[in-house]
Structure formats: structure tokens, C-alpha cells
Amino acid sequence: MAESVPLLGRKSSEISEEGEVNDGLTIPTRSISPASFLAPPAVRIDLHSPGIAPHLAYASNIPSHSGSISSDSPTYSSQSSPSLHHSYDDHFSSQLRSEEQNHSSGAAIGDHNQRFWYDNFTTIDWVHDFIKESFRVKRLHDMPGIRGRFERTRDASQGWFLVSVIGACVAGIAYLIQGAEERIFDWRSGFCTTNLFAPQRICCMDKIDACPAWVEWRVGMLGSAFAEYGLYILLSIVLATVAVLLTLTTATTTPFVRNAKPETASANTSTAYTVVDGPIAVLPNSKFTRNEASTSVIYSAAGGGVAEVKTILSGFVIKKYLGSYTLFIKSIALVLSISSGLNVGKEGPYVHIAACVGNIACRFFSKFSDNDGKRREIISAAAAAGVAVSFGSPLGGVVFSLEEVSYYFPPKTLLRSFLCAVISALVLKFLNPYGTGKIVLFQVAYEHDWHTFEFLIFVFIGALGGLIGATVSRLNRWWVRVFSSKKFVKRHPVFEVIVLVVLTSAISYFNVYTKKPPSELVYDLARPCVYREDADDVLSLDYEDDAELCPTTMSAYAASILSLVIAFIVKLGLTSITIGLKVPAGIYVPSMVIGALFGRIVGLMIQLLQYQIPGLFLFSSCPAGADPRECTTPGVYALIGAGAVMAGVTRMTVTLVVILFELTGSLDHVLPISVAIIVSKWVAQALEPVSLFDSMINNNNFPFLDNQRTPGFSGTIHDIVPKAVISANSPVIDISDSAYISASLLRTKLKVVQNLGEFDGSLPILRNHVLMGLIPAPELDYALDKMKEMDAFAKNLPFRDLGELLDSDENLCHLSADDEEIWRFRHEQQQDAASGQSSRVTDFTPFVDRSPITLDVKSPLAMVYFFFVRLGLRMVCVVDDGKFWGVLHKKRFIEYCRFEEDARDR
């Protein structure tokens, strides 16, 4: 009697480098042909075929999956094995034992027995993951006694322990990055004689005026300023080049079909929204066609990563983007890109790095590694830690995760995000990266409250901040169009980086503000001026302050404002064209630098105006005869300007208010900061409806459906989904005549779906035009490949790749959604096996989803949007009076929404 072998179980150790879970295939050794019953993971039978179990439970030799998901897979027993497949069964039996040994020892299973549950560049099934989690929770609640209490306690504590570890790890990585970046950045200007690895701030920390320990390069070059200038540019080029070369090693090819593009058409021309294989829908007064299928390349370590993390949290799968290799490369390349002097920040990349840490940490807990929906809750909490270590703002990190990146944010995730952010801030506080006891370098405090007349100025700063934010987005798109999109530049990203780093270092060298690190510059611009009285009762600057930022004479005001204006123009232009480089590059602090420069200019101009016209009605609330420097604080204007421009670029609101409040610790300035940020977003939204992050998502063709705003709809599903045509080449499986479909025909229909770019789509199964169920394309592809592999092994056909083999017309696949028919088929298969007959039919019914969500063809598009956003669906089936009409995939709906927005903009 043959041994019982697990049907197919999901193994928590089979986790890929990218954090995605693999499902290993185990072929049961039983009395019928191995090709007669091919089963997916047991959990899919519970979820996709819930009606099978009650009708089959009485069959002792067929497993029942009626209740819960067990860690122990069901088993089959057998009487004998047919001689035709005896060697094949022995092969897989020995292979299974080897796999179980590898599993227990943590080794990886062979490639031929691996599959990814969610393929690359597909969308997860939120509903499936939610149901799977509910089964797991039910199993825990059904455990009796002390063991049950222990398991429930252990399960409930896993998430809290996990986010605590993530927060500590993110703080440690941030500490290492900050220390390395600060040291390498200053090496371009000089070195410390007392400690070669110390930055200028540490080297001169105890020096009041001069700092003889810090030696500039020109001293070692016989006082040659030109030689120092050349070395400054050369070191910048070397650092940026190494950064981009490291970034290019994280390339990933996207299997997308390019977005449809509108084409002009005359008013009398019949127009259609078409794809490669035919029309999808008719749109009035427009022509919408799709290009041929093609691919593009994305670099996991490039950019800030916030847009991509936002897309991943919405349910999209981008393998390797949150993996350990990306974490390692991005951390190193981030240090080098900032040290090169490029106008980039590390705050956005910190969010990406924190998400990588969260994704990697989930691999050690099956509760999160086996469930992509639960894993994204942890990644949301990790994103909060990234902002917490960037700005020293735990509360700001929580609000950032809720407002900016998270797509699904239940109350438990809110608490976990808060714990993760607090732990990261505490650990960074203990590490003390700046040697001052502060978490961030640009934390400031103000002693004086703002005056009534300043409220209008704050509104003015907010309006211009929105204008500047929209300008940054426009300049970036202009640069991409005239330079970055050129074929040579796209094929050689290193060339663009070298051009910009030479331009940046050559211009920035001559201005003290453009030469400083971004964080240090924001701190200098936002801090208040500190004055002291000397023996002659004359106000003079404290030694810590820059004379140009705190002028004491009328002539000094003009020089200071001129220098700040030059720095503002340089930073605005260079930051706008630096966005999109193939190096780790954040936009948060660079945008704050632009705003802080602008705000400081306004503050100094207000002081200068009060010097010139002290009796102006605007200054009536100031004490009579008071010094203008005591009435207005330019640092407050700089901080508000920083928040306004950042809001104009990123369109964040509450997050910025909370971050700036935690940076200042002053309740007095929360109101003006809030007003300026709200006005900035309104102005930027009016001038540039698409934010910088949304523009990145659209350019990368990520299927992200914004859940924070509802597009305007007036039509129905009928407007975008045509009636399906049943033919051999259409992606529809018709079982009206027979439930037995050849493998070659299924492969043909599968390729039609894949050619449309719907790699995570499904094929509807119809009987007499009635929808019986869906079979997901990834699972159908997997099942056909395994069946082809079985057939090749049984026939002793050599092959290196499954693509070299053709699907046989002789191999039939049984597809049905009727319980009695399924039972009858399996019963006949077992009778044939008992009589020693081999079968050429494989049962595909376990892969069928028999409860797809459907909508009537007359349903409004607003309802479709609601279903996709609130339920996280990948597709909806469309029916007309109970008869099948078609299938609407989420990607197609997003393309339609984008096309409608573009049409309105035109």
C-alpha cells in the first residue's frame, strides 16, 4: 500500500528574496494517474470552491476542506500504482521526501517545484487574503485550553514585537547613513587634522571663532583656489558616478503594455477605445488606441521610493523593490548621492528603506509572510518609522503613513505605526547621531509670538509656496521632455547624472548657501537670530549666527537679500531637474530648502521695510520704538516658507503641520503654519492638478487607483466593457457542450489575456452564456506548466525549459462549477485507476473561483470605482439580465480614468 503524501501545503520557509511567498507543488502518490488530479494549495480550495466540501465530505478517499485552514495538509491514500507511471510516482515520492528534509533545514526547494502566489507586476487579491486571515483566526479561537490561550497570546503579540524590531532597525540604519553622509560630504572641502574621519561640525565643535584643526584643500595645494575648485568638482563626479553605477544594478524589467494614447480625430469620425486584439469600448468624440506590448525598466534603488511604496501598499506587487539587495544598495548609494552635492534629500529614501526593513522582517512570521494583505499593514507601520527618523517626528510619521502612503489603514495599524515610530525615535535619541542630544539637525525654537499684521504675510507666503511647488513640477516635466527622454540619455543614465553633478558643483561652489548640506541649510535659515549687548550697549550677533542671515546695518540687508535670491534661483532650477535621476534622491528637504530661502528673503524684506517706514499701519501691533529685529523673526518666515513649498510639491497637509510643530515645539505658530500650508495646496492644486508623486506613478504606468478623491463619472459599465465574443481566440472558456477542454486551447486563451497585459487577469467559464466561475490566469498558467511537465516526464521527453514544449491536444482539462458533476468525475477517475487504466484528463476545478463578484452592465461607473477602491478587487464580472457580458480588469478601469482626466485637461 502506497504511502500517504501531502496534497499540497503552503510552506512559510519558501519565501523569495523579494519577500513574496512561494507555493511548492507536491504531487500525491495514489492509485490514479498523476495527471488526473492537479490541486493548488489547500487554502485555495477553501476559498475558491467553498461548495465542494459539504458534498464531498462523505467520500472517505477525497479530502474535505469545509472548515478551516490547517497547517497540516490533507492526505490521499492509494491501493496501487499503474505501471505506466510507476517510475514517475517513485521519482516524485523521493523528490517529496527530499523537499521535506530541505524544508525542515531551511533550504530552498528546486525551481521546478516553486511558484509565486502573486506574480511580478500584478495586483493582490485583498478579498482572498482577508478571507484567508479570517479562517486562520477562527482556527486559533477554536483551540481549547491553555495551549489555545498561549497560541492566541503569541499570535496577538507578534505584530507588536515585529514593529518594535523594525523601528529599532530603521533607527540604526539611519544612524549609520547620517554618520557616513556627513563625513564624506565634508571631504570635498577639506579634512580634519585631529581626526581624519570627523566632519567639520565635529572637528570644530569646541571652537568659537577660528578652527585650525579643519584644513581646506587649497592650503594643501599651495593656496590655489582653482585647484581646489577642480578637486571639488572631481570628487563630486566620482561620488555621483559610483552612486549611479550601484543603482543601475537594481534594474527590473516591467512586463507592461504601454498606456493607451489619445489621438486627434474629426468630429464625424467613428472612434473607439481599442487594444491589440479588438475594441474595448466606444468613447464619443475621442480616439483611444493602445500601442503594441512592450517593456520598460525601473531601478529599485533610484528616486525617493515614496510613489512606489504607495503603489505597493495599494496592492501592487513589484518584486525586488522591497528586498534585501535593494535595501543594501540604496543605503550605500544614498550616502554617495547626497555627499556628491546633488540637490537630493534622504527623507524620502528613508521611507523606502524602512519599508524594505518591514518587508524583510515579515519573512520571519508566517502570519505576515503568508498573507500579502497583512504584510502591507506592517509595511505601513514601517513607513511611519522612516519619517520619524527623518524629521524627529513620531506623530508626523503616523500621520504621513495615514495621509500619504497607506491604502488600507485599520485602527490596529494606526497603533502599530505609532509604536514603530516612537521606538525608532527613541533608539535614534539614544544613539545621538549629532552629538547634541537631538534627533534632527534643524530643530529650532522661537521665543516670541507672531503679530496680527503677519497673518497676511503668511497667507502670501503660502500662495507663493504653492506657485513655486507647481513650478517645480512643470520644470521637471520640461527637463524630462527636452533632455531625459532622449534615446541616448535613456540608454546611458550615467551620462545624465554626470552632466547634472558637474553643473551643480560648478555653480554651487561659489555661494555659501548652495554649498551647505540641505539639513544644515534649513536649520541656518529657520533659526532665530540671537543678539547680545556689548559694553557700549550696541547689539551684535552671537557667535553662533551667520552675519549674512542676521544683518545689523542697512547695507548688510541688501547684500544678504541678494545672496539669498541667487541661492533661491539656483536651488529652484537644480532641484527641479535633479528629480528623476537614477540615484537615490528624495524631494522633501530639497523642497524645504527652496521654501526656507524664499521665506527668509520675505522676512528680511519685512524687517527692511520697517526700518524704512516704521510708522506704516502694518506695524501698528509692534511696540512703539521697538527694533524691527525684535518685532519680526525671519526664521519663522523661513520655516513657514519651507512648509508651504513642500506642500506645493507633495500636496501633503496635516503631515507637514504635525512635522513642523514637532520641529519647533511651539503651539504659537501652529495656526500660521496650518494656514500657509492649506493655501499652498489650494494654489498648487489649481495650477497643477497632478502632484509630483502622482506624475511618477503615471509615468511608470503603475496601476494605482487613487482612493482619496473620486473622479467624476456619468456613464455605465456598458460604456467601457464590450460584449464578449465566444470564439477559439477569445479569453472565454465555454463548457456548454463539454466540460473537457484541451490544454492547447486553454494555452491559446491564456496568451490572449497575457497579451493584453492582464497577467493577473482571469478567464470566465460559461455554460449557455451563464457565468459559472473564473479561473485566474496565473493559476491556469501554473497548472498548464505542471501538466506539461508531468506529460513530458511520463513520455521521457528531455527538456530544459517548459517553453520548449508544446501543450498537447490529447491532454484534456476538466473544468466545472457543479458539485455533483465534480464528484461524479472524480469518482469515475478513481474507478478507472482501480482497474489499472490511465487517464489523460486533469482536474482543474480546484482552481476555479465559483463566487466572483458581478455587476450588471447598467451599473454606474461610480459603483465600479467604489468596488475597486473599497474591496480591493482585481476585476469585476459584468452580466446583462443574468447572462455573461464581459470582464472589467482594474488596469483597464484605471486607464479609462486617466484617459478621461487627460481629455478634460485638454
Query: Do strands 278-281 and 273-275 pair parallel, antiparallel, or not at all (unpaired)?
Result: antiparallel
Residue type, 38: L
In a domain, 591, yes or no: yes
pLDDT value of residue 263: 40
> DSSP strand E in 427-552: where?
531-533, 539-541
- Residues 665, 728 within the same domain: no
CB-CB contact of 729 with 759 (8 Å): no
Could you give the percent of the chain with pLDDT greater than 90? 35
Using pLDDT thresholds of 50, 70 and 90, give the confidence band for residue 302: very high
* Residue 532: CA count within 13 A, CB half-sphere: 7
Give the Cα separation of 455 and 370 in Å (integer): 53
Q: Reduced to 3 states, what is the DSSP secondary structure of residue 12?
A: coil
In a domain, 358, yes or no: yes
- Cell digits for 307? 510613489
**432: nearest Cα among 248, 718, 691, 171:** 171
| Chain centre to alpha carbon of residue 53 | 38
| Residue 16 in this model has a pLDDT that exceeds 70 | no
Give the Cα separation of 103 and 362 in Å (integer): 18
- Residues 171, 314 within the same domain: yes
Using pLDDT thresholds of 50, 70 and 90, give the confidence band for residue 160: very high
Instruction: Please compute the mean of the pLDDT values over residues 432-440 and round it to a whole number.
Output: 81
Rg (CA), the chain: 32
DSSP state, residue 113: G
793: exposed, middle or buried (Cβ count in 10 Å: 0-12, 13-18, 19+): middle
pLDDT value of residue 222: 65
Using pLDDT thresholds of 50, 70 and 90, give the confidence band for residue 821: confident
Q: Which residue has the higher pLDDT, 205 or 506?
A: 506
Residues linked to residue 878 through DSSP beta bridges, in sequence order: 855, 886
CB-CB contact of 332 with 247 (8 Å): no
pLDDT value of residue 469: 94
| Residue 590 in this model has a pLDDT that exceeds 80 | yes
| Residue 433 in this model has a pLDDT that exceeds 50 | yes
Using pLDDT thresholds of 50, 70 and 90, give the confidence band for residue 692: confident
Give the Cα separation of 346 and 589 in Å (integer): 8
Alpha carbon separation from 648 to 347, 470, 686, 688, 713 (Å, rounded): 17, 6, 11, 9, 27
- Residues 419, 506 within the same domain: no
Residue type, 713: F
Domain CATH for 578 = 1.10.3080.10
Instruction: Count the neighbouring beta carbons within 10 Å of the beta carbon of residue 896.
Output: 25
Give the Cα separation of 858 and 882 in Å (integer): 12
Give the Cα separation of 644 and 646 in Å (integer): 5
- Residues 693, 728 within the same domain: no
| Chain centre to alpha carbon of residue 215 | 43
In a domain, 154, yes or no: no
pLDDT value of residue 286: 37
481: exposed, middle or buried (Cβ count in 10 Å: 0-12, 13-18, 19+): exposed
| Residue 903 in this model has a pLDDT that exceeds 80 | no
Q: Which residue has the higher pLDDT, 85 or 466?
A: 466
Instruction: Please compute the mean of the pLDDT values over residues 2-20 and round it to a whole number.
Output: 35
pLDDT value of residue 804: 62
Q: Phi and psi dihedrals of 704, rounded to 5?
A: -105, 125
CB-CB contact of 353 with 331 (8 Å): yes
In a domain, 526, yes or no: no
| Chain centre to alpha carbon of residue 424 | 21
Q: Which residue has the higher pLDDT, 592 or 545?
A: 592
| Residue 42 in this model has a pLDDT that exceeds 90 | no
- Residues 93, 173 within the same domain: no
Residue type, 733: I
In a domain, 826, yes or no: yes
Q: List CB contacts of 816: < 8 A, sequence separation 6 or more.
A: 735, 739, 772, 822, 825, 845, 848
- Residues 496, 623 within the same domain: yes
> DSSP strand E in 109-153: where?
none
pLDDT value of residue 333: 95
Give the Cα separation of 64 and 79 in Å (integer): 20
For the chain, the average pLDDT equals 78
pLDDT value of residue 252: 83
For Cα atoms 144, 147, 150, give the angle at the middle one, nearest 5 degrees: 115
In a domain, 45, yes or no: yes
Summarised one tens digit per residue, pLDDT across range 55-84 is 332 233 323 222 232 333 333 333 333 332
| Residue 162 in this model has a pLDDT that exceeds 90 | yes
Q: List CB contacts of 779: < 8 A, sequence separation 6 or more.
A: 40, 44, 847
**Overall size of the chain counted in residues:** 906
Highest mean pLDDT (candidates 254-268, 520-534, 799-813):
520-534
pLDDT value of residue 169: 96
- Cell digits for 728? 477559439
- Cell digits for 299? 531601478
Q: Phi and psi dihedrals of 598, rounded to 5?
A: -65, -45
Q: Among positive and negative, which fits the CA dihedral 424, 430, 431, 436?
A: positive
Q: Which residue has the higher pLDDT, 181 or 109?
A: 181
Give the Cα separation of 479 and 639 in Å (integer): 28
pLDDT value of residue 247: 95
- Residues 466, 571 within the same domain: yes
Give the Cα separation of 826 and 269 in Å (integer): 55
Q: List CB contacts of 92: < 8 A, sequence separation 6 or more.
A: 26, 27, 29, 34
| Residue 570 in this model has a pLDDT that exceeds 70 | yes
- Cell digits for 568? 533661491
pLDDT value of residue 424: 95
Q: Phi and psi dihedrals of 302, rounded to 5?
A: -85, 155
CB-CB contact of 444 with 663 (8 Å): yes
| Residue 50 in this model has a pLDDT that exceeds 70 | no
Instruction: Please compute the mean of the pLDDT values over residues 549-554 and round it to a whole number.
Output: 82
| Residue 839 in this model has a pLDDT that exceeds 90 | no
Residues linked to residue 263 through DSSP beta bridges, in sequence order: 287
| Residue 28 in this model has a pLDDT that exceeds 70 | no
In a domain, 217, yes or no: no
CB-CB contact of 861 with 60 (8 Å): no
474535505: which residue's cell? 64
Domains in the chain: how many in total?
Answer: 3
- Cell digits for 274? 481599442
484541451: which residue's cell? 742
- Residues 458, 432 within the same domain: no
- Residues 499, 359 within the same domain: no
pLDDT value of residue 463: 96
Give the Cα separation of 414 and 387 in Å (integer): 15
Residue after which a domain boundary falls, among 836, 856, 876: 856
139: exposed, middle or buried (Cβ count in 10 Å: 0-12, 13-18, 19+): middle
Alpha carbon separation from 416 to 163, 306, 315, 322, 376 (Å, rounded): 7, 20, 20, 20, 12
In a domain, 289, yes or no: no
- Cell digits for 215? 584644513
- Residues 109, 64 within the same domain: yes
Lowest mean pLDDT among 210-219, 358-367, 553-562, 714-723: 210-219
Summarised one tens digit per residue, pLDDT across range 628-643 is 777 888 999 999 999 9
| Residue 828 in this model has a pLDDT that exceeds 60 | yes
- Residues 794, 755 within the same domain: yes
| Residue 705 in this model has a pLDDT that exceeds 90 | no
| Chain centre to alpha carbon of residue 57 | 43
- Cell digits for 540? 551684535
Residue type, 420: C
**849: nearest Cα among 59, 114, 137, 51:** 51
Lowest mean pLDDT among 298-307, 474-483, 551-560, 706-715: 706-715
Instruction: Please compute the mean of the pLDDT values over residues 684-707 and round it to a whole number.
Output: 84
Instruction: Please compute the mean of the pLDDT values over residues 168-174 and round it to a whole number.
Output: 95
Residues linked to residue 775 through DSSP beta bridges, in sequence order: 763
Domain hosting 760: range is 5-117+722-856
- Residues 671, 750 within the same domain: no
DSSP state, residue 815: -
